[in-house]
Amino acid sequence: MAKLSIDLKAGKVKKQSNMIVGIDLGTTHSLVAYIKDGTPLAVKGRQHKNTLVPSIVHFDEYNKIVVGDKAREKLISHPERTIYSVKRLMGKSFNDIRGIKEHLGYEIIDEDEERLVKVKVGNRFYTPVELSSEILKELKERMEKELDAVVSKAVITVPAYFNDTQRQATRDAGKLAGLDVLRIVNEPTAASLAYGVGLDKELEETVAVYDLGGGTFDISILEIRDGIFEVLSTHGDTFLGGDDFDRAIMEYWIKEYELENKGRNFISALRLLAEEAKKSFSTSSHFKGGIAGDTFELEKSVFEGLVEPIVERTLDSCKKALADAELKTDDINKVILVGGSTRTDLVKQQVAAFFGQPVYDDLNPDEVVALGAAVQADVLAGNQKDVLLLDVTPLSLGIETVGGLMDVIIPRNSKVPSRAGRNYTTSVDGQTNLKVSVFQGERDLVKDNRKLGEFILKGIPPMPAGIPKIVIHFIIDADGILKVKAMEERSGVRAEVEIRSQYGISEEEMALMLLESLKNAASDMKAKALLEAKIEAKTILLSADKFMKLNVAILTGEEMLKTRSLTDALAKTVEGDDKDAIENAMHELNTYTQPLAHRAMDHTISSAMKGKKI
Ligand code: ADP
Ligand code: MG
């Protein structure tokens, strides 16, 4: 299988760089790094100050987008237009975020439980992918200033526990930002690479990566053999981090200085002061600071007493991770510290004591993941001769789904051999045949990709739409031959094809297809989002119709009229091409009919109860 060298000269205007950059797309901070004169380096911002970019996106009154430090300033004044912690929403459906919603200051629309979440700002809807792409664009720009050239290739890191959907969402965000994402790398793997772990193929090692960030904690146990990283176990807490340290200090001060009834702005200022105090303990043992004339003080020893129970909780997770990996602390060869909060001395001491060995903390803990991503990028670029590159699929492979959309089953750059499956169902009642069309390429609509073949799964017993369980498997063997199998699980009906035509495509053709996909990423994603909104609106319209017919007796005349006018309005938007108009119309219809639906349900249940004989 080919290794790609993509010629991106078509961009013309600016010099093109072949540099592959490493990006840490974090919950609280993000940053970009690259290899400069053989050493990984994190890139600083405009005023050459900070390498860290707050992962915050603000929309001003004109919907102009501001990212990073400038956006952070708006957190308190414009919480409803300032989006933080987007990473927590990546690849998540409404069902997945039940417990998270309350923690966020902006509006997350909550309509369909299976659908991926969206964020509502003003009367526009944004996907977490779009929001993350804004952060990535900022980093790309930063890198381009540094190199004075256009950058278009990247490695992006994700937590080891990210699932397929979350990884795919991260890939999509990169693409939307104009980046060809050559690989998604686990954060603990990147941190290990930054310390050189895995670059010597003779060495077999087991490492523990302890990552305490702003709002999340992860512990990962990795085994490295023949240059391949395997995650043995991960544990953690998605709501535990430096923010809790700040809160502990704040609560202490509130008690100590009797500040119970101060206003919201004071509390925000106090929180910032608490963070300042926490950070100061890396270099001094006493803190003194002020807000509007009032002075607040804290001893390092008191601080340590406050956060000790929090650190203890992280060690409980470490115990569990070790148990899951069936290892003892003696089996761990290296302990690597990641995340800004591991700058706290107490954390370092406690972790070292727990594992019974000194910890690796020479590199900046909030940069180490990005630095490692840059190392991985360098390996991919072929600059580290001794490190083996595994064979990968050069382009994504998938099938066509409703509306002509490409559904990727094996993403590009997956290791070969590879195997992946996904579940589908029918869209029409009584459907007995299903055509499976296999495509290769990076575009969102199959018409822009290359068709590899198709076959028909025949003889599905007639069932209502949505009931058949059709599993489609893609299997690529070591020679790169793709086999596609489809099976309807309820009846056992099956069919398969073998496709060899990956060899039919030249390297130039592949490079061209990739280039096209990057150039068209934004318009493709728009077209896809519009199509999806239309498909969804049509489903909602159908069920609204059904609902009205079924509940004539329960709804008042006024309710019928209002529902009818809302469905008419929605139907009208579906004719047009304005995605946000469709979303808004769906949102309005849903909001209006939800209480009606509950009432109808109560009615059905109570009449069922009445009819029940005891
Ligand atoms: P994430 O990976 O979640 O984006 P980071 O690794 O950037 O998070 O860590 C951010 C956290 O690190 C914040 O809570 C911040 O206050 C904390 N932090 C930064 N510097 C220090 C320091 N010197 N001492 C203690 N905590 C620190
Ligand atoms: Mg991090």
State the distance from the centre of ligand 2 to the C-alpha of 72, rounded, in angstroms.
18
State the distance from the centre of ligand 2 to the C-alpha of 31, rounded, in angstroms.
10
Best residue among 240, 245, 343, 364 to mutate for probing ligand 1, ranked by most atoms within 8 Å of CB: 343
- 134 tagged catalytic: no
> What is the model's pLDDT at position 281?
98
Report which of residues 571 and 202 the model is more confident about: 571
pTM assigned to the model: 0.77
> What is the model's pLDDT at position 322?
96
What count of Cα atoms within 13 Å lies in the side-chain half-sphere of residue 14? 12
**Taking phi first (over 0 means left), then psi (-120 to 50 degrees means alpha), and beta for anything else, what does residue 226 get?**
left
**Which is the catalytic residue, given 134, 172, 187, 246?**
187
Name which residue sits closest to atom 12 of ligand 1, judged by CA.
340
Comparing 381-390, 442-451, 477-486, which segment has the lowest mean pLDDT? 381-390
Best residue among 279, 285, 347 to mutate for probing ligand 1, ranked by most atoms within 8 Å of CB: 279
Percent of the chain whose predicted confidence (pLDDT) is above 70 = 91
Report which of residues 454 and 98 the model is more confident about: 454
Ligand nearest to the CA of 307: 1
Name which residue sits closest to atom 24 of ligand 1, judged by CA.
279
**Comparing C-alpha atoms, which of 53, 37, 55, 57 is closest to residue 45?**
53
pLDDT digits (tens, 9 = 90+) for 535-569: 889 888 988 888 888 888 888 999 999 999 999 99
Q: Which atom of ligand 1 is nearest to 366's Cα?
A: 6
State the distance from the centre of ligand 2 to the C-alpha of 343, rounded, in angstroms.
13
Ligand 1 pocket, residues with Cβ under 6 angstroms:
26-29, 213-216, 241-243, 275, 278-279, 282, 339-341, 343-344, 366
pLDDT band at 243 (very low <50, low <70, confident <90, very high): very high
- Report residue 552 CA to chain centroid gap: 44
Q: Which atom of ligand 1 is nearest to 55's Cα?
A: 4
pLDDT band at 480 (very low <50, low <70, confident <90, very high): low
| Continuous segment of H or E residues that includes residue 221 | strand 217-225
CB 126 within 8 A of CB 80: no
CB 169 within 8 A of CB 91: yes
**Which is the catalytic residue, given 130, 144, 172, 211?**
211
pLDDT band at 25 (very low <50, low <70, confident <90, very high): very high
Name which residue sits closest to atom 13 of ligand 1, judged by CA.
214
> What is the model's pLDDT at position 166?
86
Name which residue sits closest to atom 4 of ligand 1, judged by CA.
28
Best residue among 24, 28, 298 to mutate for probing ligand 1, ranked by most atoms within 8 Å of CB: 28
**Across residues 421-434, what is the average pLDDT?**
88
pLDDT digits (tens, 9 = 90+) for 80-114: 899 999 999 998 887 788 777 777 778 887 666 66
pLDDT digits (tens, 9 = 90+) for 219-241: 999 998 877 788 888 899 988 99
Token pair recorded at residue 534: 């239309």
Comparing 375-384, 401-410, 411-420, which segment has the lowest mean pLDDT? 411-420
Beta strands 294-299 and 286-291, pairing class: antiparallel
> What is the model's pLDDT at position 174?
95
- 87 tagged catalytic: yes
Q: What structural domains does the chain harbor?
A: 4-190 (3.30.420.40), 200-239+317-364 (3.30.420.40), 242-305 (3.90.640.10), 397-514 (2.60.34.10), 522-609 (1.20.1270.10)
State the distance from the centre of ligand 2 to the C-alpha of 200, rounded, in angstroms.
25
If you write DSSP's letter for every residue of 267-303 in order, what string do you get?
HHHHHHHHHHHHHHTTT-SEEEEEETTEEEEEEHHHH
C-alpha span between 105 and 56 (Å, rounded): 12
At residue 598, what are phi and psi to the nearest 5 degrees?
Answer: -60, -45
Ligand nearest to the CA of 278: 1
**Across residues 430-459, what is the average pLDDT?**
88
**Across residues 261-290, what is the average pLDDT?**
91
**Across residues 119-133, what is the average pLDDT?**
92
CB 410 within 8 A of CB 476: yes
Comparing 141-155, 241-255, 586-600, which segment has the lowest mean pLDDT? 586-600
| Helix locations, 209-288, DSSP H | 242-256, 264-280
**Comparing C-alpha atoms, which of 439, 407, 444 is closest to residue 422?**
407
Checking if the pLDDT of 501 tops 80, the result is no
> What is the model's pLDDT at position 11?
42
Checking if the pLDDT of 586 tops 80, the result is yes
C-alpha span between 36 and 146 (Å, rounded): 11
> What is the model's pLDDT at position 454?
85
Mean pLDDT, the chain, integer:
87
Checking if the pLDDT of 518 tops 70, the result is yes
Report which of residues 22 and 604 the model is more confident about: 22
Query: Quick one: angle between helices 300-324 and 242-256, nearest 10?
Result: 150
State the distance from the centre of ligand 1 to the C-alpha of 339, rounded, in angstroms.
6
Comparing 35-39, 126-130, 592-596, which segment has the lowest mean pLDDT? 592-596
The amino acid present at 578, given as its one-letter code, is D
State the distance from the centre of ligand 2 to the C-alpha of 486, rounded, in angstroms.
40
> What is the model's pLDDT at position 12?
44
